[in-house]
Structure 1
Amino acid sequence: MAGEIVETIEPAIALLGMGLGAAVAANALRLNPIVGYLVLGAGLAALGYADRFEGPVVATLAEVGVMFLLFNLGLHFSVSRIREEAANIFGFGSLQMLVAGGGYTAILLLLGLPTAGAVIGGFALGLSSTAVVIGLVRQRDQEDCPVGRAAQSILIFQDIAAIMLLVAVGALGAGGALGPALGLAGLKAIAAFVLAVLFARFLTEPLFRTAARVRSSEVYTAMALFIALAAGWAAGIAGLSLTLGAFLGGVAVADSRYRILVQTEIEAFRGLFLGFFFISVGLGIDPQVLADNWLLIMGVALGLIVTKCVFNVIAGLANRWSVPGSIQLAFLLGQGSEFALLLLAMPGLAGLLGAQVSAVLITAIAISLALTPMVSQAGRVLAGKLRQGPPDQKLAGDDAPVVLLNLGETGRTIADRLAEEDVDYLAIDGNMERFEKALADGYPVHHAMLADPRSWDAVSMAKRQVLVITEVDPDTMRELGPLVDDRLPGVTRIAATETRDRHAEIEGTGAVALSTNTPGGHDDVIHRVLRELGLEPVRKEGTADAREVA
């Protein structure tokens, strides 16, 4: 018995250890860990070890990783936010699929493929990778910037479209009628969403209140895992994708005051299991096919990325996005999809396209996934350069009453909240790396050293009402305090700090010190800004950690 257990879990343990080494190596080379996982998988496949990791344990862990990723995405998409993002999800999402899927369908028809295979294959190629893109968006702290929000919305629509494609391929493989199968899948998806809304409204709070009374971290962890996995399982039983079910499970918890706790508990599992998914994608690269057709595959992979970016730019411009925004979003979504890998491997579609074409496309898509971090970064840099504009262009945020200093993690959170409250602000960052990333992500930011009083006139500090300082340096504030009091007497200074260690020292300079590392800390900063401007908040306060509430 013990020997069977060891033999069963051995592949997972081996991949876990090698995945850790790949992530460390990628970090040392300043590459995204996703690249490290994909290269590890491809290397193992090239060495002939892919068969050792094809068991159900690794496949299940990989699928669970994607489920946790989508569950986490659902936690940020409450029912109210889905209503707010409906234009992006169903408008922009459908537009992107029509442009990209229609474009690839036309290409496949021109190559002489049968109509059914060209249409399903074309729309499969129009899909982008939810796992890779959401991972990058989270890593770059872009969840709440326009590009990040649009990408997440489009991917939600693509997941729904992928379900329809899976149903279509299954019907073709079984020789059944396509129309009734698609209609039934659509009704199931609607029913699943309604159930998620009902669960969120009537069951979420009672369940977590019960768990809170136990006052045990194990119960919280078990509850988070149960909701994520059970939602995916229920969707799978209903004939829908596990990932859509996991997303709806997150939606069911998104409006709860226990959301932060659930997100905290699921985070470690998400990152751990998602590594198995990316390694599995690398293992799926057939070294023999790659060796025999390497020139063709590289050309197809490059062509896929270029055409996907072009189609996405067209969709962005058609949706009235700016050129820089369209380019950044296009490059971010400029890869194939894990769903496309699944679709192309199914007998129904592989039979229409041919085994050779399917194998080449699968390998090319896997390569496009590996290149995504570099491609998306190139789009981000290009968008940033285009957004800089001519030197005589009016300063973004020229009339803003608020100046926000430094756009690190805390600064971006405050910037996003100010935008939600419809408060105009001008962001300043003296760190070139942070500045370029924030500029590319669409923030109204300028590069300047605000600690240098000579820059105050250039940004018209005297006419501002509030200065919010993140990445606080109390020593600099103390040195500049007298000069600020003399030259900027009407400007309220708010220092947003992560700890309270030097609050007394900061307040001694005439500034207001507020800690953001507490439940509702960012709300305190926003409310103080609004009070100084004579405004009332338009959005409800953030929720506290359930352990604090309980």
Structure 2
Amino acid sequence: MEESSLLTSVLLFLLAAVIFVPLGKRFGAGPILSYLAAGVILGPGGMALVSDPAAVLHFAELGVVLMLFVLGLELNPSKLWELRSAIFGLGSGQLLLSWAAIGGLAWGFGLSIEAALVVGAALSLSSTAFAVQLMSEHRLLTTPLGRDAFGVLLMQDLAVIPMLLLTAYLAPNSAQIEHHAVPWYWTCVALIGFVLVGKYLLPRVLKLVASSGVREVLTAFALLLVMGSAQLMEWLGLSAGMGAFLAGIMLANSSYRHQLETDIEPFKGLLLGLFFMAVGMSMDLKLFLTDPLLILAILLGMLLIKTLVLMLLGRVRHHTWRPSIALGLILAEGGEFAFVLLSQAQLSSIVDDKIAQILVLAIGLSMAVTPMIFTLFRATKPKVVDTRLPDTINVTESEVVIAGFGRVGQITGRILASSGIPFVALDKDASHVDVIRQYGGEVYFGDARRLDMLMSAGIARSRLLLLAVDSVEDSIEIAQQVKTHFPHINIIARARDRNHAYRLMSLGVTDVFRETFGSALSASEKILQGLGLSQVQANERVKIFAEHDKKLVIASAAHQNDLAKLIDLSNKGKAELESLMRGDRENVS
């Protein structure tokens, strides 16, 4: 590629990322869909600004390699050993059952046994890049479901090379196909050497590189490590991504792990975005106009088979039905290595050119629709309506009623109990109540929004109400109830933020504390001491700020719906605070 052409392509990719990702987020689409859409528009099926998607896809696979390295950094060998049942049990089960079902279906619809085997292998694979990104977006990667899904993806990566070898063997001209293969014993020696170097030599080299004090050198070393490991594994006949993943695992316990992750992250994000764009470019949407029913049938068949297989295996792994279905949907899409398998099968005349192109489009479409299907599935989660009757409260006296027994409520309850002060705690989450009782906590199941529950808790005879529920709206409703029916009760309320505090103050609740405010003040005091101020000086600065902020919140509460007035009060408050702090510094000096 000429220099001007390369520069133009880079500009196009960056421009597409800057335009499409923010637009997609604005309309509720995730980054994956945005990158796919950008690729479709840039590719041959759209504006044809990029004419060789295969070359772009080959280069962009570096993004997948870097992603696997970063994942390896998060998993030390002991954690990987914990995944063995997910990798070899769940993973091999998914691979073999999906392969057999899809391959059998392809054979039944007229493909040769060789073509059916390759098609079954290709469509049984899932996309590591898509699945990991999808789980990250929905915060599932560190859950048991996420670990199982990752185990399946690792098994699929291990299976890619045998699948490629099988494809080469099934080719009509397989005897004439050159294949480089390192003898198995050299592969074992190289892997053992790889592990030993990673454990004993790499930490010393990293320390030496880091001691140079040049940030760019450490970044260069990180990239060299990832790409060198990937190249070594390819030479051994294994997956490049597997090499990068193993390199990450070798450094998972290193003190430089976070620095390496920080250095690699920008490259990983951009190259993954380019990878998703390249997938979009490879989708020939014109085929959808000529054979729409066939493409839809392949797409739906692949999604249904893989979802059903993983759903059943998820149940075997003791997941409940919803997580099992979620596991299937996460891994239902086609994978990036399917493009490699189909390309080799096409070149070897195992699969017809048109069938290969249709399968590529179906795989690309599966990557586009899977995030939408999964998001819709997550949105259908039914709200759990607890039919359990509220607890009967038999309390002779209680000086304090605690509404909401989460972190704030529990700490307050422990202090009150240790001080010999009777209280009644209410929480509307029955499962949470059961857990607290297992630890010996005193709490009743009941909704503090209900007047009868407050009456049963002895609110009429109490002196204080601690309002510590999670929901802002519930908090406001309870405050209104108590202010209306028990105006003599002093309410001490937890507020999530300033706006919540304003709403509580407008109801006449004067004792309001913001949930992170106290810890932020304590942290600030420690920071000031760390910068050289004495404990007395740091404490005084924080005290000045806290008193000033409290006055500012009270003043702002009367104007909570007037943005211009709030901005004006904020600006005046900053100037006043600077003046107070300046006076304190002058007094100290």
TM-score (norm 2): 0.65
Q: Secondary structure at the match of 1:46?
A: coil
Report the CA distance shift for 1:203/1:282 in structure 2 as closer, same or farther (over 3 A).
Answer: same
Report the CA distance shift for 1:297/1:256 in structure 2 as closer, same or farther (over 3 A).
Answer: same
Q: Offset of 1:261 from its aligned partner? A: 0.9
Q: Secondary structure at the match of 1:45?
A: coil
TM-score (norm 1): 0.69
Of residues 148, 152, 159 in structure 2, which corresponds to 1:150? 148
- Provide the alpha-carbon RMSD of the alignment: 4.2
Is 1:45 the counterpart of 2:68? The answer is no
Query: After superposition, where does 1:491-502 map in structure 2 within 5 Å?
Result: 500-501=523-524
- Partner residue of 1:264? 262
- Partner residue of 2:126? 128
- Partner residue of 1:378? 376
Q: Offset of 1:474 from its aligned partner? A: 12
Return the index of the structure with the highest Cα Rg. Answer: 2
Partners of 2:321 and 2:114 in 1: CA distance: 34
Report the CA distance shift for 1:187/1:372 in structure 2 as closer, same or farther (over 3 A).
Answer: farther
Partners of 2:184 and 2:495 in 1: CA distance: 47
Paired amino acid for 1:19: A
- Partner residue of 1:296? 294
Q: Offset of 1:186 from its aligned partner? A: 7.5
Q: Secondary structure at the match of 2:210?
A: helix
Q: Secondary structure at the match of 1:254?
A: coil
Q: Deviations over 1:173-201 (max 9, x none)?
A: 352599xx999798777666544432331
Q: Secondary structure at the match of 1:312?
A: helix
Q: Secondary structure at the match of 1:255?
A: coil
Paired amino acid for 2:134: L
Of residues 357, 364, 367 in structure 2, which corresponds to 1:366? 364
- Partner residue of 2:387? 392
Is 1:116 the counterpart of 2:111? The answer is no
- Partner residue of 2:83? 85
Q: Secondary structure at the match of 2:141?
A: coil
Report the CA distance shift for 1:182/1:8 in structure 2 as closer, same or farther (over 3 A).
Answer: closer
Of residues 204, 210, 213 in structure 2, which corresponds to 1:212? 210
Q: What percent of counterpart residues are identical?
A: 26
Q: Offset of 1:12 from its aligned partner? A: 2.5
Query: After superposition, where does 1:106-505 map in structure 2 within 5 Å?
Result: 106-173=104-171, 175-176=174-175, 194-347=192-345, 351-382=349-380, 384-385=381-382, 389=384, 391-392=386-387, 403=406, 448=471, 500-501=523-524
Partners of 1:183 and 1:470 in 2: CA distance: 65
Query: After superposition, where does 1:97-108 map in structure 2 within 5 Å?
Result: 97-108=95-106
Q: Secondary structure at the match of 2:51?
A: helix
Partners of 1:88 and 1:78 in 2: CA distance: 16
Report the CA distance shift for 1:379/1:144 in structure 2 as closer, same or farther (over 3 A).
Answer: same
Q: Deviations over 1:230-278 (max 9, x none)?
A: 1112222222222222212211211212111111111111111111111
Q: Deviations over 1:16-51 (max 9, x none)?
A: 212321112111212111111111222232235165
Q: Offset of 1:117 from its aligned partner? A: 2.6
Paired amino acid for 2:45: A
Paired amino acid for 1:52: S
Contact 1:305 1:335 in 2 (8 A): yes
- Partner residue of 1:399? none
Partners of 2:238 and 2:318 in 1: CA distance: 33
Partners of 1:312 and 1:117 in 2: CA distance: 24
Partners of 1:20 and 1:310 in 2: CA distance: 38
Partners of 1:89 and 1:499 in 2: CA distance: 46
Report the CA distance shift for 1:27/1:193 in structure 2 as closer, same or farther (over 3 A).
Answer: farther
Contact 1:76 1:254 in 2 (8 A): yes
Q: Secondary structure at the match of 2:350?
A: helix
Partners of 1:285 and 1:108 in 2: CA distance: 21
- Partner residue of 2:7? 9
Question: 43-52 vs 70-79, which deviates more?
Answer: 43-52
Question: 283-292 vs 272-281, which deviates more?
Answer: 283-292
Contact 1:34 1:278 in 2 (8 A): yes
Report the CA distance shift for 1:379/1:98 in structure 2 as closer, same or farther (over 3 A).
Answer: farther
Partners of 2:358 and 2:32 in 1: CA distance: 22
Report the CA distance shift for 1:404/1:310 in structure 2 as closer, same or farther (over 3 A).
Answer: farther
Report the CA distance shift for 1:335/1:190 in structure 2 as closer, same or farther (over 3 A).
Answer: farther
- Partner residue of 1:528? none
